[in-house]
Structure 1
Amino acid sequence: MTEIPSPSQASAHRTDSRLLELLICPVTRHPLTYDKDAQELISQKARLAYPIRDGLPIMLESEARSLDEDQG
């Protein structure tokens, strides 16, 4: 039987750096930059930051944070 990880165990998982290297922005189809401190994938061209939650990149434009908010 497979054990289901508790929320604390799930948050302890790290995102695979090889996976991050393969991902591209779904809007621009350009490479992303990984911001380890913010746990986000940054698309400079689209000016969007995609969150990484519990080790999983959320690659939905509707979930992305606008980088232009940082300048406001």
Structure 2
Amino acid sequence: MIKQELLEILACPQCKGMVELNIEGNSIVCRACRLVYEIRDNIPIMLIDEAKPLRGQDDKEDRHG
């Protein structure tokens, strides 16, 4: 799992905004860009070309708090 200290200094490579760990802890999410960055072997893959659109459970939480 990603340490909180690392998460605090990471930024979305597209908008330079704040990112957060998703519920399962297996990816990093930028809610502003609605992009998901995968974590592989405890290394966040912060590449725009490899990011996936935010969907699923995270969308439900956005709508329902």
* Residue identity opposite 2:50 in structure 1: E
Aligned pairs, how many?
Answer: 57
Deviating runs (4+, > 4 A) in structure 1?
none
TM-score under structure 2 length normalisation: 0.75
Larger Rg: 1
Tell me the percent identity. Answer: 33
* Residue identity opposite 2:44 in structure 1: P
Unaligned runs of 5+ residues in structure 1 are 1-13
* Residue identity opposite 1:56 in structure 2: I
CA deviations 1:19-60 (Å, max 9, x no partner) are 011101010010001114051111111110001111000000
Unaligned runs of 5+ residues in structure 2 are 60-65
CA deviations 1:4-23 (Å, max 9, x no partner) are xxxxxxxxxx3222101110
